[in-house]
Amino acid sequence: MIEQLRVLVADDDPMLRMALSEVIEAEAGLHVVATAADAEEAADLAERHTPDVAVIDVRMPRGGGTHATREIRTRSPRTQLLAFSAYDDSGAAEELKRLGVREFLVKGITNAEIVAAVRRAGEAGDV
Amino acid sequence: MRPDDGYRLLVQGVRDYAIFMLDPDGHIATWNVGAELIKGYREEEILGRHFSALYPPEDVAAGKPARELEQAVRDGRVEDEGWRLRKDGTRFWANVVITALYDEAGELRGFGKVTRDVTGRRAAEEALRESEERFRLLVQGVLEYGIFMLDPDGRVVSWNDGAERIKGYREEEILGQHCSVFYPPEDVAAGMPTKALERAVRDGRVESEGWRLRKDGTRFWANVVITALFDDNGRLRGFGKVTRDLTERRAAEQALSERRRLLSHLVEAQELERRRIAWDVHDDSIQAMVAVGMRLQLLAGRLPAEHHEVMGQLEESVRASVGRLRGLVANLRPTTIDQHGLIPSLAGYLQDVVAGWGLETSLSADLPNEPPMPVAITLFRICQEALTNVHKHAGATRVDVTLAGKDGGTLVRVTDDGVGFAHPTPDDPYRHFGLLEMRERAEIAGGWWSVASTPGSGTTVQFWLPTAPTQEQP
């Protein structure tokens, strides 16, 4: 049996959080282990669940994507990070890359692209 | 030649002076060339006649000739200026000296009379006097300027109507007073009146602006020019002082500065509002649309194939909406002028946004200074609106933006090669509002805005905003 990729979804917008979870959950081999609405919650849940992949909204309350990324790097080192960013968040991109974010998913890309990125991150984590 | 002959020849030959002798009764005893030239009588015509023939009838009637002889006898000589008659009855203005002549025994032998025609000098003096009088009347009558003179010690020695109107003193009240009465107490304590006069003496003139006192103690904002007046020998004769009441101008300047302050607040408020709307759209509307799009894709995967086309169209609509909302956010977003300056921000906008619409762009800027922030933001926003109009309505392939310093402000042209339009305010209401908004922004900032267009040959939006001074006049 193929082991499932365990995914954490963090986005402060409830509609987007739910939609993103559903998209990932609908895919074979992907499973959403937790959803977070802010940076602190994302870090806590990552530490508790040690997911394979975390999809982090760049702009979130209580510290934003940078804080969440930095915390997850230390509290769940083997979690692979994807930034889910708005069209114009490119300013934060440099710092997030430096903190270890693998890829940037611009909100509005197709579900297929999102899923492909999550799988790529998961495979990278296995290596 | 005897010495007497020499004198006679000299006297005879003098042409500029009538020099002749009277006997003790006033009859003409000698005559010279000058007398003939000035009075018109030849020697043989006049010898033996009484000299009153040379006076106008009214002087004769008043006994003036006899009186002058009496005075000459009494005082030794008499000098007089007045009208005299020529032979032809015309008059000339004469300077006359009559000297009583005595022999060695002390006996009156007659009178020497020297007459000069000073009509020309008199005319010149008269002209000068009239000119001075006219000038005095002019100075006296000027109401907009207080024009008056001070003596070398700073005391008022003349006064005009303007000075009375501005300062409230009547002439008889102020003459003789020291000019320090016009200064507020704190300036007097600081020695300003004396310093101003000293500087005028040193530099020739001194100009200043400041508060001055009216008679009633109220203050007015004055522009004052003090000029030191020296005579031909370089001696200080006094000071000319010209005072203008600038209170109204100052009030106007303050109103202008208040207007600029309001503009700055307005621009700031507009920018804040735009930022708030941008975040709202960004954080709420776009996110919601993105979520809807994702759910539509999920749904599409679960529906039978016959629904795929409709679902595809729905997804496309959502995607297009997201794109438009992002465009809106980009337009509403705060400018980067505060970080990078106006021209780099405009260049960035042309490159990132306008070029993205498929338009070729060019930017040429020749500004002596970076305009102050509210002006720069207004310039940017009007350009943005003009460029958006080009994108939406012009059907253009290129747009050129130029900025140049002009008339103490910035002149901007946005020119496209699009379809143009026939009327300055076309019927399209959205376009109409866009034009109105640009114009209002320009006019609120104290500038102007215009659009010129010919169908088929493009449109040029042109506007000018004044560069408000960053610092107020002291």
Report the complex ipTM: 0.88
Confidence bin at B472 (pLDDT 50/70/90): very low
**B333–A88 C-beta distance less than 8 A:** yes
Give the per-residue pLDDT at B36.
93
Q: Is the pLDDT confidence value at B474 over 50?
A: no
Distance from CA of B273 to the nearest CA of A (A): 19
Q: DSSP secondary structure string, B401-425?
A: EEEEEETTEEEEEEEE-S---SSSS
Whether the model clears a pTM of 0.80, i.e. scores above it, the answer is no
Query: Hey, what are B445's tokens?
Result: 């900032």
Average pLDDT of span B69-86: 92
Classify B445 as helix, strand or coil: coil
- Encode B261-298: b = buried (16+ Cβ within 10 Å), e = exposed: eebbeebeebbeebeeebeebbeeebbbbbbbbbbbbe
Residue A90 makes CB contacts below 8 A (sequence gap 6+) with none
Calculate the CA dihedral of residues A95, A100, A105, A111 and round it to 10 degrees.
-160
Higher pLDDT among residues B101 and B326, named by residue: B101
A109 at B interface, C-beta within 8 A: no
Tell me what pLDDT residue B251 has.
85
Chain B interface with A: residues with Cβ < 8 Å: 282-283, 286-288, 290-295, 297-298, 301, 319, 322, 326, 329-330, 333
For A119, the token pair is: 């799988």
User: Quick check: A87 contacting B, CB < 8 Å?
Assistant: yes
Confidence of residue A43 (pLDDT cuts 50, 70, 90): very high
> Who contacts B2 (Cβ-Cβ below 8 Å, separation ≥6)?
none
C-alpha to C-alpha distance for B208 and B4, rounded to whole angstroms: 70
Which residue's entry shows tokens 């005595």?
Answer: B102
Mean pLDDT, rounded, for B280-285: 83
From the list B287, B297, B319, the residue facing A16 with the nearest CB is B287
Is the CB of residue A19 less than 8 Å away from at least one CB of chain B?
yes
User: Could you tell me the pLDDT band of residue B45, with boundaries at 50, 70 and 90?
Assistant: very high
Q: Which of B288, B301, B330 sits opposite A15 (nearest CB)?
A: B288
d(CA B73, CA B98): 9
The single-letter DSSP state of residue B285 is I
Cβ(B200)–Cβ(B239) below 8 Å: yes
Question: How far apart (Å, rounded) are the C-alpha atoms in residues B414 and B460?
Answer: 6
A79 Cβ contact list (under 8 Å, min separation 6): A8, A46, A50, A51, A52, A53, A54, A72, A125
**Could you tell me which of B223, B149, B212 has the C-alpha nearest to residue B182?**
B212
What's the rounded Cα separation, in Å, for the pair B347 and B365? 10
Q: What is the mean pLDDT of residues B316-335?
A: 83
Residue B260 has pLDDT above 90, yes or no: no
A86 touches chain B (CB under 8 A): yes
Query: Could you tell me where the beta strands, DSSP code E, fall in A2-123?
Result: 5-10, 30-36, 53-57, 80-85, 103-106
Q: Count each helix (H run) and each strand (E run) in chain A, helices first.
A: 5, 5
CA distances in angstroms from B398 to B387, B395, B404, B416, B435, listed in the order given: 11, 9, 20, 6, 20
Q: Do A13 and B291 touch (CB under 8 A)?
A: yes
Chain-chain contact of A18 with B283 (C-beta, under 8 angstroms): no
Pairwise CA distance, residues B316 & B293, whole Å:
9
pLDDT digits (tens, 9 = 90+) for B194-233: 999 999 999 999 999 999 999 998 999 999 999 999 988 8
pLDDT band at B171 (very low <50, low <70, confident <90, very high): very high
Q: How confident is the model at residue B174 (pLDDT cuts 50, 70, 90)?
A: very high
Across the A:B interface, residue pairs with CB atoms under 8 Å apart total: 52
Contacts of B243 (CB under 8 A, 6+ apart): B145, B146, B147, B163, B166, B167, B182, B212, B222, B223, B224
CB contact under 8 A, A107 and B286: yes
A107 touches chain B (CB under 8 A): yes
Of A15, A59, A110, the CB nearest to B291: A15
The verdict on a CB contact (< 8 Å) between B319 and A108 is: yes
pLDDT of residue B428: 60
Run of H or E residues at A66: helix A64-75
CB contacts of B326 in chain A (<8 Å) are 87-88
Min Cα distance A20 → chain B (Å) is: 7
CB atoms A15 and B283 under 8 Å: no
B279 CB contacts (<8 Å, ≥6 apart)?
none
User: What percentage of residues in chain B have a pLDDT greater than 70?
Assistant: 95
pLDDT of residue B166: 92
Q: What percent of chain A has pLDDT over 70?
A: 93
3-state secondary structure of B366: strand
Percent of all residues in chain B with a pLDDT value above 90, rounded to a whole number:
50
A2 reaches B (C-beta below 8 A): no
pLDDT band at B382 (very low <50, low <70, confident <90, very high): very high
Residue B430's pLDDT is 55
**Which member of B298, B319, B322 has the closest CB to residue A22?**
B298
**Which residue of chain A is at minimal alpha-carbon distance from B289?**
A108
User: B405-443 pLDDT, tens per residue?
Assistant: 988 899 999 999 988 887 655 556 556 677 888 888 888
**Interval B72-86 mean pLDDT:** 92
* Chain B residues within 8 A of A22 when measuring between CB atoms: 294-295, 298
Rounded CA-CA distance B274/B378 in Å is: 13
Across the interface, whether the CB atoms of A108 and B290 are under 8 A apart is answered yes
Q: Is the Cβ pair A108, B283 closer than 8 Å?
A: no
Q: Which residues of A touch B322 (CB under 8 A)?
A: 108
Give the span between the Cα atoms of B425 and B433, in whole angstroms: 9
- Residue of A30, A60, A88, A105 best to disrupt the B interface, most CBs of B under 10 A: A88
- CB atoms B294 and A13 under 8 Å: no
B113, pLDDT greater than 90: yes
* Percent over 90 (pLDDT), chain A: 57
Q: CB–CB of B452/B383 below 8 Å?
A: no
Residue B473: pLDDT band by 50, 70, 90 thresholds?
very low
Tell if the CB–CB gap between B295 and A19 is shorter than 8 Å.
Answer: yes
Whole-number pLDDT of residue B41 = 94
Lookup: tokens for A68: 């969440």
Residue A1: the pLDDT is 45
Query: What are the φ and ψ backbone dihedral angles of B401, each rounded to 5 degrees?
Result: -115, 130
Query: Which chain B residue is nearest to residue A114, measuring alpha carbons?
Result: B294
